[in-house]
Structure 1
Amino acid sequence: METICNIHIPGKMTIGLEFPLDNDWSLEGEKKRNVSGRPFGIPDISRHTEYIQLADQLGYSALWMREVPVYDPGFGDGAQLFDTIAYLGYIAGITKSIILGTAAIVLPLHDPLQLAKAVASIENLSGSRFLFGVGLGDRPVEFPLFGYDFETRAERFRHNHAIIEEAWKTQSGLGQYYENLDKNIQVFPKPENPIPWIIAGRAQQSMDWIGQNMQGWFNYPRPLAETAKQIIDWRNVLYDNNQASKPYITAFHLNLLLDDNAPFRPHRFGGAVGINGLLPLLKAYEEVGVNHMALHLRKSETPVKETIERIATTILPHFNYKEHDYAI
């Protein structure tokens, strides 16, 4: 799959960004948030178009966004505010080459036929620059709001996956999932190219099922040693299930410090470091087998635009591999 190939270079790592493109979890960002009266976890996305196009122009591999259907102050995270699918349609229209990924759509909260149509639309409109990342959902408050049972969401995850896969077929047989459905009923558009499924976490599924049905694994940010162990487990699952190499994807909550020479200090889901220490840190993740790293900037001490530009200048040249550099 060409889209997967753009971020999956065996033995190498590509670099992307994770929404929202704000540093509202930094000390300076929190001051700005308090002045503007935004609740904690609600970012400032007033410059989102500028930052999105900048990332596209500077050669970042992918942009990733999460789905947060309703804002729960107990979690304190509004993600990128806009509806994920609608926002992707907008972003597809203002970018040219960057891959667009979801990490993740809460699969059990959606009607599968509506989601199949929406996702195929994004794939068509973006020129097949789309990775369909899906997750289980971990916020009990959301499920009754949408009329679904929280406790059975793992089963619904598999059920929705099967229906969407069927809906995308050239001549789908949706009647096996819906009683008294006319055999000619179809969902359009069909994907122009196969849409890669990326699972976030495990979604209460067996690793064998994940290895067989997903085209990549987006795992939660972990320290280097834990990441290395997860990658070994992933490769073993693929081997045991006769699967080809598939990407291991993760994120990193980066606090890019103003002091260029500041040494690395770990924090939950990532760490703080100066720009001169960032390259060896990312290279260490590449060496243990990470195929794609999504940088999350909400804790960054350095302003967002400057962070995007400095990483592009200093870091990306060491990770922007070309097709002739590898074999799929």
Structure 2
Amino acid sequence: MFAPDRLTIGIFLPLRFFQGDMTVLQGQSELVAEIDRFGFSAVWVRDVPLFDPAFGDAGQLFDPFTYLSYLAARTQKVALATGSAIFTLRHPIDLAKAATTIDHLSGGRLVLGIASGDRPVEFPAYGIDMESRGERFAEAVSYFRHLTAPGRPQISSRLGALNGADFLPKPAAGRIPLIVTGSSRQDRTWLAENADGWLTYPQATHTAEGPQRLANIIQDWRTKIPDGGFRPHMTNDWLDLVDDPDFPRTPLRGGFVLKTGRKGLIDLLSEWQKAGVNHAALGIQFSERPAKEIIQELAEEILPLFPSLEGPEPLSTKW
């Protein structure tokens, strides 16, 4: 997924939003298998425990960890990413157990996008104070890191104490990348010191000014990385990709959705790459064309310009 000065492409699920009928998800895993065969670098699933009609969409519907396990069995090489697991609403032991399990079942293909949560209805349902989610998020990240690190963990945290027991399994390849979404109620110094990568909103996508603003944000974050090493940046956008390749970049829904043809999308991806973005997760939920048709066009016309990177072969999955 990630290399300096390169941009790769992933696909956000679901491919169509839930609108009262679960059949909207039928056939999605077959399309994910095609996404894998075409060579996209990642598929992303969202974590929305409760559907609040007043807030927004229902997300992926399925539990992200359970569904990624299912997709792991249907795919061979594509990275499996959460976008994003809500680290404030679940205990770090449960998060780590689910994550390392999927990591092994997929041969080390899990990338864990994480966030502090933003849906007010979910926090009281879990018995958690929403206003303290920033502190809880940072504590959960630290707890998760200690659990999954080599050796037997010793942990003393507001979220619990652990002494005399071990956590298994450890990650398949030594470490599961934690990609923080937005600020997650942390400052950029914390993000630079603790995140393996950063996923932010894209700014405006219909003009070149948005990617320019994004470049400034990315540069400011990277100057704060303690060792000056490479950490990837990601962004995402919801697309209505039309069949006219020359259709101009046009904002819809207050800029939340970009309607464009493939030439406009190529321009945007090029601007993002120049800005320092290393991965673009594209959602096609708002597109009017069939998902299969859009995936085919992206694979044939866009992916060759922003190819996935050669990486190690997935580890053994003969479980």
Indicate if the aligned counterparts of 1:250 and 1:292 stay in contact, CA closer than 8 A. yes
Q: Say if 1:323 and 1:180 are closer, same or farther in 2 by CA, change over 3 A.
A: closer
Give distance in 2, aligned partners of 1:250 and 1:179. 31
Give distance in 1, aligned partners of 2:87 and 2:141. 8
Match of 1:30 in 2: none
Question: 1:235: how far off?
Answer: 2.0
Indicate if the aligned counterparts of 2:41 and 2:309 stay in contact, CA closer than 8 A. no
Q: Counterpart of 1:209 in 2: which secondary structure?
A: helix
Indicate if the aligned counterparts of 1:263 and 1:277 stay in contact, CA closer than 8 A. yes
> Amino acid of the residue matched to residue 255 of structure 1?
D
Q: Does 1:290 align with 2:284?
A: no
Indicate if the aligned counterparts of 2:236 and 2:281 stay in contact, CA closer than 8 A. yes
Indicate if the aligned counterparts of 2:140 and 2:159 stay in contact, CA closer than 8 A. no
Alignment of 1:1-328 (within 5 A): 7-22=1-16, 24=17, 38=21, 44-177=24-157, 183-193=163-173, 194-223=175-204, 224-238=211-225, 241-267=226-252, 268-320=255-307, 322-323=309-310
Indicate if the aligned counterparts of 1:130 and 1:195 stay in contact, CA closer than 8 A. yes
Runs of 4+ deviating beyond 6 Å = 178-182
Give distance in 1, aligned partners of 2:163 and 2:233. 38
1:135-167 CA distances to partner (integer Å, 9 max, x unpaired)?
Answer: 011112101111211111111111111111111
Indicate if the aligned counterparts of 2:189 and 2:221 stay in contact, CA closer than 8 A. no
Identity of aligned residues (%): 36
Q: Say if 1:243 and 1:110 are closer, same or farther in 2 by CA, change over 3 A.
A: farther
Match of 2:207 in 1: none
Give distance in 1, aligned partners of 2:308 and 2:24. 33
Question: 1:302: how far off?
Answer: 2.0
RMSD: 2.1
Runs of 5+ unmatched residues, structure 1: 1-6, 26-32
Indicate if the aligned counterparts of 1:163 and 1:174 stay in contact, CA closer than 8 A. no
Give distance in 2, aligned partners of 1:298 and 1:179. 37
Runs of 5+ unmatched residues, structure 2: 205-210, 312-319
Give distance in 2, aligned partners of 1:203 and 1:159. 12
Question: 1:227: how far off?
Answer: 1.7
Q: Counterpart of 2:171 in 1: which secondary structure?
A: coil
Indicate if the aligned counterparts of 2:257 and 2:286 stay in contact, CA closer than 8 A. no
Indicate if the aligned counterparts of 2:35 and 2:295 stay in contact, CA closer than 8 A. yes
Give distance in 1, aligned partners of 2:159 and 2:15. 45
Question: 1:17: how far off?
Answer: 0.6
> Amino acid of the residue matched to residue 9 of structure 1?
A
TM-score (norm 1): 0.86
Indicate if the aligned counterparts of 2:96 and 2:147 stay in contact, CA closer than 8 A. yes
Indicate if the aligned counterparts of 1:67 and 1:104 stay in contact, CA closer than 8 A. yes
Question: Which stretch shows the higher mean deviation, 281-290 or 106-115?
Answer: 281-290
Question: 1:270: how far off?
Answer: 4.3
Q: Counterpart of 1:252 in 2: which secondary structure?
A: strand
Indicate if the aligned counterparts of 2:156 and 2:162 stay in contact, CA closer than 8 A. no
